[in-house]
Amino acid sequence: MAEKVLMKGNEAIAEAAIRAGCRHYFGYPITPQTEIAAYMAKRMPKIGGTFLQAESEIAAINMVYGVAAAGMRVMTSSSSPGVSLKQEGISYIAGCDLPALIINVQRGGPGLGGIQPSQSDYFQATKGGGHGDYHLIVLAPASVQEMADLTIQAFTLADKYRCPAMLLADGTMGQMMEPVILPEPQTSAVEKPWAVTGTQNKRPHNIINSLCLRPEQLEKANFERYEKYKQIEANEVLYESFMMEDAEYCVVAFGIAARVSKNAVISARKNGIKVGMIRPITLWPFPTDAIAAAAKQVKGFVCAELSMGQMIEDVRLASACTKPVLLCNRVGGMIITPEEVLEKINTLAAL
Amino acid sequence: MHVQYNCTKFVLHDCTDTMTCICKAYGINMIVFEKPKALTDVPMHYCPGCAHGIIHRLVAETIDALGIVGNTVGVVPVGCAVMAYDYFACDMVEAAHGRAPAVATGLKRAMPDRVIFTYQGDGDLASIGMAETVHSATRNENITVVFVNNAIYGMTGGQMAPTSLPGQVTQTSPYGRDIKTAGFPIRVSEMLATLDGPAYIERVAVNNVKNVRNAKKAIQKAFQNQLEGKGFSFIEVISTCPTNWGMTPSQAMKWVETDMIPYYPLGVYKDKYADVTGDIGNTGEVQ
Amino acid sequence: MTTQILISGFGGQGVLFAGKFIAYKGLLEEKEVSWLPSYGPEMRGGTASCSIIISDEAVGSPIIANPDVLIAMNLPSLDKYEPACVPGAKLFLDETLITRKVTRTDVEAFYIPATQLARDAGIPTLGNMILAGNMIRETGIVAMEGVEEVLKKVISAKHADLLQANLHALQIGYQYTKEML
């Protein structure tokens, strides 16, 4: 087995991306994700790759668009305000059905907000973010190991479905160090005959384009894209189920909030409350079926998240509001404590 | 468009075409006029008198001349040339408004051995995409940028552009561009020439035969530079928009000469690899 | 068993580095570990802290509200974190920089003149590692054995010349007792 190394989450993303065969990185400095850029700046020139500090997040995502159009693995990373700037390019990439990876190491907002951890870009990440009907495949790591593993997974899924993917982390995940076993280097096995690599006078010209002025054609393109999304929803949902076998209550949380909630679940169990946790790993596609099944089993849910209540809407939808769903949240860079989650579990159990 | 006179032997026949007759008489296999291979058969949507067709052709002829159609990827803007991806026969990408140089940067970094060009208008390149323009220039990205300056937003129906002249009447400057509130036009070639990065910057026009010939030479040089790895090569082409200028095509060509070129003098603004920088005139005559 | 260690001081005192060293030592002893820094715009001189968890089980939340061990390298850090420590916590204080005593009676305090010892040893910037050495001795959370291997991992090749100095600092701290004075 490969050696365990102690690594920051941000660095684990960067190293995993390189091991996923990503040789092109474009970024713009913003806390708390700058280690990714720093790591790429150091490594890319040594392995014949591109590191480019773009003039803006907008330029960076459009450089990503260019490399993705050429059919190569490519990524950019930023944090909340920067990811807002990237939305234009993300919408184009989605509209052109190109694979690419966008990292969002979230911080508190709105506006310039703060630099401390947050999960308040959930809506932006899972509901589109930019203009038009589209989805990103959104993966939410809850450990440094997952920062690495899900980076690889994101590239794989992006290629498989010709779809941009996002790793939705937060400041804690980016800054913390944990032991990580780095994944083995790999290459994309997916053929990309659609890529604009030059016709070599052997085929008709390829066009990467999201413009479609005929409504009937644009509608058809959207319908086709959503057929693809149905496949993703059917095949790619990932979640962790923790102590759910006999659970009477269920905590739903992702990323850092799930780490905190796990402590609370363990404490509650010690107090004799049968509680479990569902941790969505893919935020889109959301583990709707798992939540729906849990809704039949448990008496209620606690949704723990670092936002004013964003994922809670998906929990309520998935459970069809058949059971109470309580929100346990802190925002602005504050992080919920296990005690706060425990208190909500107690409140739920007392209902 | 494709008119070919093709005869290989002398045959007596009923003649309806003088040229064919002459060809046949002399046994000449002669192509008088042909569409460049780098252009597709898709009919262009441009207005009568618009110079986009000329400029497309010059770019396509260059691609043909250099034999690079299979090795080239073009990036088109948002603006009147938005659908140029259908017109060029090489691989094409449609970029977001103003972002073509960033997209081209990505393409070139991913495929350094491919020829990457952008084709952009004044709103795209000099307004919303100015940052991308300046920074790709200062990085000396080894790409070719064709900048079509017609001093107006054409596609959206004739609004004021960053290059609209002082006093120019547009839909959004109905009383004429007021420099007090709307500022001055940007001379992009001059501005970019202040940077150390770019390899080659030239402003040309396509309002008469001589200028078209010069424009072709400049565009060809801008592509040749890329093949030689010389870096960022930028050709600003002073163009027309008779529809939104409210002129006939011939009036528009005249206005280029009387109003545009005096404000935007033609010439070479930067050539890192030349011993002597070309003269910059103000009459539309390039030395 | 799970131990939550909080190290806090001024930026530039090596708080994050000492934390990384301790976490890496835990990792090499095949324990589960996490290391979480405070991060902010202040690069030097502001308050810096990091949270290290060393456990036999998978680490849940990496955030420490109530430390079992506190290494305080300046007075604001003691003021801030003393009340948060669990009863029975072990507090390691840089006596050179912190003039007051611990007020709580339900915790165990160790006063080490780390900055002074570091100066005396000609390694003035390594008070952090002296405190770490003393913490290892008094808590046994990780072993002193094998620290050199860890230092090789946490000190970049560029600064390899500092390895011996760090080792020396750890040893000074590990051997330090009040009786020595």
pLDDT tens, residue by residue, A66-103: 999 999 999 999 999 999 999 999 999 999 999 999 99
Q: Residue A167 pLDDT more than 80?
A: yes
What single string gives the DSSP state of each residue in B66-125? HT-GGGEEEEE-SSGGGGGGGTBSSEEEEPPTT-HHHHHHHHHHH-TTSEEEEEEEHHII
Write down the mean pLDDT value for chain B. 90
Tell me the nearest-neighbour CA distance from B236 into chain A, angstroms.
Answer: 22
Contacting residues of C for A339, CB less than 8 Å apart: 65
Q: Which residue of C has its CA nearest to A178?
A: C34
Residue B115, C-beta contacts closer than 8 angstroms, at least 6 positions apart: B63, B66, B68, B71, B72, B73, B144, B223, B226, B227
Out of A24, A26, A209, closest to residue B94 by CB: A209
3-class secondary-structure state, position B31 = strand
Q: Which residue of B has its CA nearest to A206?
A: B91
Nearest to C131 by CA among C147, C117, C146: C117
Neighbours of C153 (CB within 10 A): 15
Separation between Cα atoms, residue B15 and residue C133, nearest integer Å: 106
Residue B261 and residue B282 in contact, taking contact as beta carbons nearer than 8 Å: yes
In chain A, residues under CATH classification 3.40.50.970 are 4-235
Write down the mean pLDDT value for chain A. 97
Lowest mean pLDDT among B13-27, B62-76, C96-110, C158-172: B13-27
Check residue B32 and give its pLDDT.
78
Q: Which residue of A has its CA nearest to B79?
A: A211
Check residue C29 and give its pLDDT.
97
The answer to whether A70 contacts B103, with C-beta atoms less than 8 Å apart, is no
Q: Which residue of A has its CA nearest to B85?
A: A207
pLDDT band at residue B80 under the 50/70/90 scheme = very high
Separation between Cα atoms, residue A148 and residue A13, nearest integer Å: 5
Contacting residues of A for C39, CB less than 8 Å apart: 31-32, 115, 171, 175
Nearest to A226 by CA among A318, A344, A329, A95: A95
Tell me the nearest-neighbour CA distance from A61 into chain B, angstroms.
Answer: 8
The answer to whether A176 contacts C36, with C-beta atoms less than 8 Å apart, is yes
Domains, chain C, ordered by start:
2-180 (3.40.920.10)
The answer to whether C39 contacts A115, with C-beta atoms less than 8 Å apart, is yes
H or E segment and range at residue A169: strand A164-170
The answer to whether A206 contacts B103, with C-beta atoms less than 8 Å apart, is no
**C47 exposed, middle or buried (CB, 10 Å; 0-12, 13-18, 19+)?**
middle
C65 touches chain A (CB under 8 A): yes
The answer to whether A172 contacts C63, with C-beta atoms less than 8 Å apart, is yes
Residue B99 and residue B121 in contact, taking contact as beta carbons nearer than 8 Å: no
Q: Residue B6 pLDDT more than 50?
A: no
C32 touches chain A (CB under 8 A): yes
Residue A166 and residue A136 in contact, taking contact as beta carbons nearer than 8 Å: yes
End-to-end alpha carbon distance in chain C: 34
The answer to whether A66 contacts B107, with C-beta atoms less than 8 Å apart, is yes
Identify residues of A whose CB sits under 8 angstroms from chain B CBs. 24, 26, 50, 52, 54-56, 58-60, 62-70, 72, 74, 88-89, 92, 196-202, 205-211
Tell me the nearest-neighbour CA distance from C42 into chain A, angstroms.
Answer: 12
Extract the tokens encoding A195.
């890529």
Mutate to test the interface with C, among A1, A5, A6, A263 (most CBs of C within 10 A): A6
Number of H helices, E strands in chain A: 12, 15
Task: Among 1.25.40.10, 3.30.1600.10, 3.40.50.920, 3.40.50.300, name the CATH number for the domain at A239-350.
Answer: 3.40.50.920
Q: Residue B7 pLDDT more than 50?
A: no
Residue whose tokens read 């790999």: A186
Q: Residue B2 pLDDT more than 50?
A: no
Check residue B13 and give its pLDDT.
44
- The Cβ-side half-sphere exposure at C174, using a 13 Å CA radius, reads 15
Nearest to B206 by CA among B164, B249, B157: B249
Residue range B27-42, pLDDT digits in tens: 667 677 889 999 999 9
Residue A283 and residue A254 in contact, taking contact as beta carbons nearer than 8 Å: yes
Check residue B8 and give its pLDDT.
44
B109 touches chain A (CB under 8 A): yes
Measured N-to-C along each axis, helices C163-175 and C147-154 cross at an angle, to the nearest 10 degrees, of 140
Check residue A155 and give its pLDDT.
97
Tell me the nearest-neighbour CA distance from A160 into chain B, angstroms.
Answer: 20
Question: Residues B214, B215, B219, B220: is their CA dihedral positive or negative?
Answer: negative
Tell me the nearest-neighbour CA distance from A72 into chain C, angstroms.
Answer: 33
Check residue A187 and give its pLDDT.
80
Residue range C124-149, pLDDT digits in tens: 999 999 999 999 999 999 999 999 99
The answer to whether A178 contacts C63, with C-beta atoms less than 8 Å apart, is no
Domain B37-271 has CATH 3.40.50.300: no
Separation between Cα atoms, residue A264 and residue A267, nearest integer Å: 5
Contacting residues of A for B195, CB less than 8 Å apart: none
Separation between Cα atoms, residue A299 and residue B24, nearest integer Å: 94
Angle, CA A235 vertex, CA A251 and CA A11 arms, to 5°: 65
pLDDT band at residue C46 under the 50/70/90 scheme = confident
Q: Residue B23 pLDDT more than 80?
A: no
C49: DSSP letter: E
Q: How large is the average pLDDT for residues B206-233? A: 98
CB pairs under 8 A between A and C: 60
Residue range A277-296, pLDDT digits in tens: 999 999 999 999 999 999 99
B3: DSSP letter: E
Extract the tokens encoding B197.
């990065």
Q: Residue B275 pLDDT more than 80?
A: no
Extract the tokens encoding B160.
């004021």
Q: Residue C72 pLDDT more than 70?
A: yes
3-class secondary-structure state, position B174 = coil
Mutate to test the interface with B, among A72, A200, A209 (most CBs of B within 10 A): A209
Out of C36, C62, C65, closest to residue A337 by CB: C65
Check residue B12 and give its pLDDT.
43
The answer to whether C20 contacts A177, with C-beta atoms less than 8 Å apart, is yes
Contacting residues of A for C54, CB less than 8 Å apart: none
The answer to whether C62 contacts A32, with C-beta atoms less than 8 Å apart, is no
Residue A267, C-beta contacts closer than 8 angstroms, at least 6 positions apart: A338, A342
Domain ranges of chain B: 1-34, 37-271
The answer to whether C24 contacts A6, with C-beta atoms less than 8 Å apart, is yes
Do chains C and A touch by CB distance (3+ pairs < 8 Å)?
yes
DSSP-H helix ranges across chain B: 18-26, 52-66, 100-110, 122-123, 130-138, 179-182, 188-193, 209-227, 242-245, 249-255, 261-263
Check residue A128 and give its pLDDT.
87
Q: Residue B134 pLDDT more than 90?
A: yes
HEC secondary structure over A201-232:
CCCCCCEECCCCCCHHHHHHHHHHHHHHHHHH
Q: Residue A126 pLDDT more than 60?
A: yes
Cα dist. B137→B98, B122, B140, B185 in Å?
A: 14, 16, 5, 20
Separation between Cα atoms, residue B236 and residue A177, nearest integer Å: 51
C66 touches chain A (CB under 8 A): no
3-class secondary-structure state, position C155 = coil
pTM of the model: 0.92
Q: How large is the average pLDDT for residues B95-112? A: 98
The answer to whether A59 contacts B132, with C-beta atoms less than 8 Å apart, is yes
Nearest to A342 by CA among A321, A324, A328: A328
Measured N-to-C along each axis, helices B130-138 and B100-110 cross at an angle, to the nearest 10 degrees, of 40
A347 touches chain C (CB under 8 A): no
Contacting residues of A for C65, CB less than 8 Å apart: 337, 339
Residue range A178-219, pLDDT digits in tens: 999 999 998 877 999 999 999 999 999 999 999 999 999 999
Neighbours of A345 (CB within 10 A): 27
Position B219: which residue type? I
Q: Are strands A50-53 and A24-27 parallel, antiparallel or unpaired?
A: parallel
The answer to whether A208 contacts B132, with C-beta atoms less than 8 Å apart, is no
Separation between Cα atoms, residue C8 and residue C77, nearest integer Å: 6
Q: Residue B9 pLDDT more than 50?
A: no
Q: Residue C43 pLDDT more than 60?
A: no
Q: What is the ipTM score, two decimals?
A: 0.93
The answer to whether C61 contacts A260, with C-beta atoms less than 8 Å apart, is yes
pLDDT band at residue B11 under the 50/70/90 scheme = very low
B135: DSSP letter: H
3-class secondary-structure state, position A6 = strand
Residue B139 and residue B105 in contact, taking contact as beta carbons nearer than 8 Å: yes
A287: DSSP letter: -
Q: How large is the average pLDDT for residues B100-116? A: 98
B153: DSSP letter: B
Residue B236 and residue B156 in contact, taking contact as beta carbons nearer than 8 Å: no
B103 touches chain A (CB under 8 A): yes
A230 touches chain C (CB under 8 A): no
Residue A270 and residue A295 in contact, taking contact as beta carbons nearer than 8 Å: no
B82 touches chain A (CB under 8 A): yes
Contacting residues of C for A256, CB less than 8 Å apart: 61-62
B81 touches chain A (CB under 8 A): no
Nearest to B187 by CA among B169, B170, B206, B166: B166
The answer to whether C60 contacts A176, with C-beta atoms less than 8 Å apart, is no
Extract the tokens encoding C135.
């913490």
Out of B71, B88, B102, closest to residue A66 by CB: B102
Residue B46, C-beta contacts closer than 8 angstroms, at least 6 positions apart: B52, B53, B80
- Fold of the A4-235 domain: Rossmann fold (3.40.50)
Check residue A188 and give its pLDDT.
73
The answer to whether C61 contacts A178, with C-beta atoms less than 8 Å apart, is no
Tell me the nearest-neighbour CA distance from C130 into chain A, angstroms.
Answer: 22
Residue range A22-78, pLDDT digits in tens: 999 999 999 999 999 999 999 999 999 999 999 999 999 999 999 999 999 999 999
The answer to whether A260 contacts C37, with C-beta atoms less than 8 Å apart, is no
The answer for A 18-47 residues in CB contact with C (under 8 A) is 31-32
Q: How large is the average pLDDT for residues B14-34? A: 63
The answer to whether A199 contacts B90, with C-beta atoms less than 8 Å apart, is yes
Q: How large is the average pLDDT for residues B236-255? A: 97
A266 touches chain C (CB under 8 A): yes
Q: How large is the average pLDDT for residues A303-320? A: 98
Check residue B269 and give its pLDDT.
98
